[in-house]
Structure formats: structure tokens, C-alpha cells
Structure 1
């Protein structure tokens, strides 16, 4: 962007040759050492940079102008920051507030995402340290348990959850309600989870993170989860430790639907909030009414969920739906 420069009183006037935007005007003020106020006239596409240090008044201000401020930001009640104008290699972001002393929209501006487009971090927490502010896909190189650095892979970093610490999100093909019907025998239905990165990467991210969780839910209608007759589960999920048994073997269920403990019990059974006091899972009521058992698994050793098995859905009145959420990890182990 080119500017013509002339002095008019106590302010510098920068006028674009080919037209200027609000963003480029804000950027010009952000890189000028002495600029504390930029005034932008959208009608004439003119940018005025105030170098006087006043920062509270807007000389020659018109109603159509937008005032962009840098200094004394603590005196305003600011709205949320905008997304960074660039995903990498330096951009700007803005936030606005209407101030009583200045007509028009008051905007604060700062630089953001000052890292290279090919930069790599260990995880999304590392990207937070690098200065990533907005949720986006980024390159990470997780460390395997044997100390070998895995090759870089793209992963989604959520920078809004958990107060923006940088949550590594691992997606898969089961993040939807999947209907199950016509499978009567215990665990006769199976859904194998396919993650969007190689399995060794999933395990490496979980092992190297301080905290991980994964949501799982089973909606049921007349589909009993636990069979008290043979003391086995009709419906359950398995983790990385129980996934590799022969297909015709009964697979012992992992922690079902809740917490960090190795307990084969549903969330309502742990909190004693099931719809009936004599069951450990809502679906064990088995009364033909749509019910649900769900919760977050937070035991890292029981993650990731690799498969979901179901049964007792063989009759016309029996049905179920399973949903498995993404893995969400943050912090360094």
C-alpha cells in the first residue's frame, strides 16, 4: 500500500494513491512507532494517523469516520477480538467499542500469528506458545513413547476450549448417531473407529498430554446393556488394550461412559442418578422407552476408544444409537 505524506497541524495525513481500507489503515497505525490514533474515512478512503500522543480526541472527525486506537486500552469496555487476518506469517486482529468521547466506532488493533506457515509444534499447546490465537488446522510432530519423533501431521487445534490453552482435537468417522437394529447376541454388532491420523499418532498424543477425554453415548429403546443372567455386557466399547482379541471372543468392556476409574459402570451409576435406583445404567431398565447413557472417558490408559459393540437389538421393539466424540487433549504430561 502506498501513501502520500504531508503535515497538517499536529497530525500526519496519509492519503492512499489507489484507495485504502479500514484494515490497512489500522495496520499502518500499528507499525508506526508514534501512532496512537488512526482515523479512517470510508467515503473518501482516507487514513489519518495521529502522532500527537493525545489518543482521546479525533481531530477533524466526521460521523462517517472510524477511529482506531492503540493506547489507553484499559479505559474501554472492549468487545471480542476478531479473527486474525492471516493464518500465519503475521496479520492483525481488531476489537471495537463505542466510546463516549469519540463519535463513531472505536477500534483497537494488534499484530497476530507471527509464525511461519511451515512451522511445527509438538502439540496444540505448543502452538499456543508460538502465538496461535484462532482455532485452525496446524502441523504437529508428536513424540512416541520410545522417544522417536514422528513425522509431521496436520491436526485441528481448538483455541477456544479450556480458556484457549490449545486443545488437540483428533476426529474420526463415528462422530454421529449411528443406528443399531437387528443384532441380538451380545456384542454381535461392531463399529470399528477410524481416526483421521495414524493410530500410533493418536496414542502418542494421548501419552504426551496431561489431560485427555472422549465422549461416548448409547441411546437405547428396549436394548439392555448388562445381562445379569450371564453377567456379561450386551453393549460396550473397547480401548487399545482390548481391541485385538479374536473377533469371535467375548471382548471385556472398558470403562463405560465415565471418568478416570477402571469401573464397568455408567455415569448415572457412579453419580447415583439413574432413572431407577436398582440399576447401574439407564438402559438396563429395558422398558421400551428411549433412554440414554453417556459421559466422558478421562482415563488416558483407556483411550482411545477403538470399537463399539452392541446387542439386544434383535426384536422389532429394540433399537439403539451410538455416538463417539473426538479425542480432546491438552497440556504436557
Structure 2
């Protein structure tokens, strides 16, 4: 599901699972062979701290990586294991104590790039019975780029860039 999905209040929270068109083996071969992979995650919220409580315990997290996956405590754009999202690194969160946007209708969004923790398998939501609670999530598609086994590739960042090769002389050798 790559569409924005509203989360409805529930005393027990819940877990949302994501499925991919490729099977497990195909998925991990693609991730392993790729030079880089990324997946965008977005959390829209109001009165809903995303990651932690004042004592540091996690409220919500995501599961990612091979097999059943591993609990991940950072959000898109945050440092791995930091319990923070991108607004915390940019120091523009409305709730710096929780390192997220939570008291106003805001968006915590970022791109996950650590291949070892991709793809996002599920979101785990803790207590979502908070008065005034409003939230929604979106997990984008997994995008992988490049082939790490191709070592003789050239990349250009300017339209006027080019490669110059000397004239090929077929009488010497062509194999």
C-alpha cells in the first residue's frame, strides 16, 4: 500500500504489514546486487508523538530487513538507532523533547537508505488512544538503482560531459 492511510484510534495499537510483488529470494537478490536502495516513509500526525516517550521507550517503530525483519527505531531521514526522524536532525521539530512533530498537524517524512534494513516489512503502532489523536502513514515503493558488479560505468552530472576514446585499430586485436 503506497497510498496515504489513516490510522484509527485503538487501545491496543496494531501492526500493519506490507507485501511486495517479488518473492523473498528475488527481493533480497535485488537489494544485494543493487548499488543503492531507498524507500520513503511518511507519518502525518497531530497529538501523536512518533517515536518515543519522555522516558525513551518507543511508541511506534518499523520492522525491516531480511526474513522476519528487525525492529528499527529511527524514522526516514534519521540516523539508524537514533529514535529520531529527519526534523530532529534539521532541528525544526515542533516537539524537540520527542524529536518529532506531534502537537500540530505535521508530517515526519524521510527516505530510508540502509540496504540491510530494507524493505519496510511492517509498522508497529503503540498506544493510539490519545485524546485528539490523528495520524496517517504512507510507505513508498522500494527503489533500487545501479548494479554493484558493474565496475566500468561512467556517470555524468552535466549535460556537456563526455568520454573520449582513442580511435580503434582493428588490425591490432579485437578480443
TM-score for both structures, normalised by structure 1: 0.41
In 2, Cα distance between the equivalents of 1:303 and 1:203?
9
Preserved CA contact (<8 Å) 1:260 1:299 = no
**What is the total number of aligned residue pairs between the two structures?**
147
Map of 2:126 onto structure 1: 311
Identify the match of residue 233 of structure 1 among 58, 73, 90.
Answer: 58
Preserved CA contact (<8 Å) 2:34 2:147 = yes
Shift of residue 290, structure 1, vs aligned partner: 1.3
Aligned residue runs from structure 1 range 213-232, under 5 A: 213-225=38-50, 226-229=52-55, 231-232=56-57
Aligned residues: CA RMSD:
2.3
**Which of these two proteins has the greater Rg computed from alpha carbons?**
1
In 2, Cα distance between the equivalents of 1:329 and 1:256?
19
Map of 1:182 onto structure 2: 9
**Is 1:253 matched with 2:72?**
yes
Map of 1:211 onto structure 2: 36
In 2, Cα distance between the equivalents of 1:301 and 1:254?
14
Aligned residue runs from structure 1 range 11-50, under 5 A: none
Shift of residue 303, structure 1, vs aligned partner: 0.6
Extract unaligned runs of 5+ from structure 2: 149-175
Q: 1:259 to 1:332 in 2, by over 3 A?
A: farther
Please list every run of at least 4 consecutive aligned residues from structure 1 whose deviation after the TM superposition is greater than 6 angstroms: none
**Is 1:200 matched with 2:25?**
yes
Map of 2:158 onto structure 1: none
Encode CA deviations 1:215-262: one digit per residue, 9 max, x unaligned.
001111211221123x22212211125845xxxxxx743432126744
Identify the match of residue 86 of structure 2 among 244, 267, 270.
Answer: 267
Preserved CA contact (<8 Å) 1:255 1:302 = no
TM-score for both structures, normalised by structure 2: 0.73
Preserved CA contact (<8 Å) 2:77 2:86 = yes
Shift of residue 192, structure 1, vs aligned partner: 0.5
In 1, Cα distance between the equivalents of 2:84 and 2:134?
21
